[in-house]
């Protein structure tokens, strides 16, 4: 069986002390195993990164940018292999994997502009013969801990920008989907990255803890569930590290009576069921204003869901694939069952899909649940599966109150033709990423990604302008070269301009 290794100082490193199985979720079979990094392996990765940092920090940004430009080219040239690995370990259909890769590439393209992004600020003559300027300098060795649901895109949110800013990086990818992440890291080295600047250590919680506790790791980026995000933020912050930790979500859409329902249905299907609903930006709740609108929306959803196809990643005609593990499949099914037992109506039931040739896979079919109430377990929890729940309300104000009262504040959307309603919604909804007739308002690479409330822990969001600020620290320099014209005597007062 193939063993996926670590990548340290530009070389593959094997460690035989412990390993974890890696599964193909479409078949339920273990296809490989992944090494678990010990504390000693993490120490070696940090040491190599620390050794590489001085030279990389002093590498001109234009040279860093050229490596990123070559990296983009290699990602595009190897797209088929990358997406095949995503499919084998995540179950994502090829067209969805291609979309993930493209969004990741866009973040590398943003990092290619690092010469512009690192420009500081300069003011001449802030005082007599005194100039002042700000520089944005790298932090040192930084780390990223990434989830299973986007094995390529989320790491590309992190390390291209961190490295372009002059840092050295250690990535701990999800142990469930390590192969595509490792291949992409190898391509970055092929693009010309010096050894030690980018390292990959695979593993489990102990590996994560070793990174969080290491005194030479200056910052940590994380994407995952809210309980883990909160724990990582607390532990990293207590250790004096800068941290951004992105957590879970319960994303609502509001459908107004004046909405284009046919468009809303098409958009909701993709946003709810794409990638089996295993997206932190998936729309899992549609809050419909008015029973007549809800009846019509549920009818249209029911009709169109009959045509959805779920299956293996190799068939590009499939709409989505399996969920990540058997345990997660069982959890999703149990939440569907709990909604039904608490009084909701299961309109389309995906609990027992028949997938020919994949009888042992971890599949849940597209599921639609109507008459969901806020006190139900399925509403309160993040399901993270192909389940769309319908909550009926009488007014837009009630719909917004539901969203604002929820502990999560990641993404939301309103479907309407009313500009005034859309503007009011955008101004007053307590959510970090908002769409108007756009169900997945994931910011493009030159904006920044981050939710509110218990969906995000930290001060600076992921990628984009916030990413540059997260991976650098400002240094302000005030300089004077004394001359006869500006020479001053002793002063004990606070310096001011008169």
The residues assigned a catalytic role are 280
Q: Which two tokens stand for residue 354?
A: 């028949």
Residue 166: CB atoms within 10 Å? 23
Collapsed DSSP state (helix, strand, coil) of residue 67: helix
Q: Which of 160, 198, 151, 191 is nearest to 46 (CA)?
A: 198
Residue 85 and residue 183 in contact, taking contact as beta carbons nearer than 8 Å: yes
| CA end-to-end distance (rounded Å), the chain | 76
Judge residue 292's burial from the number of C-beta atoms within 10 Å of its C-beta, 0-12 exposed, 13-18 middle, 19 or more buried. exposed
Distance of CA 244 to the CA centre of its chain: 11
Q: Which two tokens stand for residue 481?
A: 């070269």
What one-character DSSP code corresponds to residue 276? G
Residue 477: CB atoms within 10 Å? 11
Collapsed DSSP state (helix, strand, coil) of residue 107: helix
Write b or e for each residue in 178-208: b if 16 or more Cβ atoms lie within 10 A of its Cβ, otherwise e: bbbbbbbbbbbbebebebbbbbbbbbeeebb
> Is beta strand 411-415 parallel, antiparallel or unpaired with respect to 408-409?
unpaired
**Can you tell me the distance from the alpha carbon of 127 to that of 486, in angstroms, rounded to the nearest whole number?**
10
CA distances from 59 to 134, 158, 168, 217, 421 (A): 19, 19, 12, 20, 51
Site of tokens 């800068």: 242
**Can you tell me the distance from the alpha carbon of 156 to that of 158, in angstroms, rounded to the nearest whole number?**
5
Rg of the Cα atoms in the chain: 25
């Amino acid at each position: 069986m193939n063993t996926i290794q670590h990548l340290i100082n530009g070389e593959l490193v094997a460690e035989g002390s412990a390993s974890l199985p890696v599964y193909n979720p479409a078949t339920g079979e273990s296809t490989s195993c992944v090494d678990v990094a010990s504390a000693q392996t993490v120490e070696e990765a940090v040491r190599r990164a620390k050794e590489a940092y001085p030279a990389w920090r002093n590498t001109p940004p234009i040279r860093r940018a050229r490596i990123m430009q070559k990296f983009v080219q290699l990602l595009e040239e190897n797209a088929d292999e990358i997406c095949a690995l995503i499919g084998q370990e995540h179950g994502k259909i090829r067209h969805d994997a291609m979309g993930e890769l493209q969004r990741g590439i866009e973040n590398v393209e943003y990092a290619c502009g690092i010469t512009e992004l690192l420009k500081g600020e300069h003011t001449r003559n802030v005082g007599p013969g005194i100039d002042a300027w700000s520089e944005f300098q790298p932090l040192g060795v930084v780390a990223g801990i990434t989830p299973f649901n986007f094995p390529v895109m989320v790491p590309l949110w992190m390390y291209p920008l961190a490295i372009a800013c002059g840092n050295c990086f250690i990535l701990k990818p999800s142990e469930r989907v390590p192969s595509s992440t490792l291949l992409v890291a190898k391509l970055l080295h092929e693009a010309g990255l010096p050894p030690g600047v980018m390292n990959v250590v695979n593993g489990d919680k102990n590996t994560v803890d070793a990174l969080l506790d290491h005194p030479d790791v200056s910052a940590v980026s994380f994407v995952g569930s809210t309980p883990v995000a909160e724990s990582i933020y607390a532990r990293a912050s207590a250790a004096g590290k800068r941290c951004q930790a992105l957590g879970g979500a319960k994303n609502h859409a509001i459908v107004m009576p004046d909405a284009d329902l046919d468009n809303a249905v098409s958009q909701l299907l993709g946003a709810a069921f794409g990638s089996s609903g295993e997206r932190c930006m998936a729309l899992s709740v549609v809050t419909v204003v008015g029973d007549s609108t809800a009846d019509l929306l549920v009818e249209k959803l029911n009709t169109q869901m009959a045509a959805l196809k779920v299956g293996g990643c190799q068939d590009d005609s499939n709409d989505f694939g399996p969920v990540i593990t058997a345990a997660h499949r069982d959890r999703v099914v149990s939440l569907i069952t709990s909604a039904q037992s608490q009084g909701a109506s299961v309109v389309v039931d995906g609990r027992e899909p028949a997938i020919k040739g994949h009888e042992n896979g971890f599949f849940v079919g597209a599921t639609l649940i109507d008459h969901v109430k806020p006190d139900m377990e399925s509403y309160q929890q993040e399901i993270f599966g192909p389940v769309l729940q319908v909550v009926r309300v009488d007014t837009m104000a009630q719909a917004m109150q539901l969203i604002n009262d929820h502990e999560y504040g990641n993404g939301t959307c309103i479907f309407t033709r009313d500009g005034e309603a859309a503007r009011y919604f955008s101004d007053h909804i307590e959510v970090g990423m908002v769409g108007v007739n756009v169900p997945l308002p994931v910011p493009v690479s030159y904006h920044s990604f981050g939710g509110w409330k218990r969906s995000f822990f930290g001060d600076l969001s992921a990628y984009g302008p916030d990413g540059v600020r997260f991976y650098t620290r400002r240094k302000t320099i005030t300089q004077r070269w004394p001359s006869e014209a500006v020479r001053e005597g002793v002063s004990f007062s606070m310096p001011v301009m008169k």
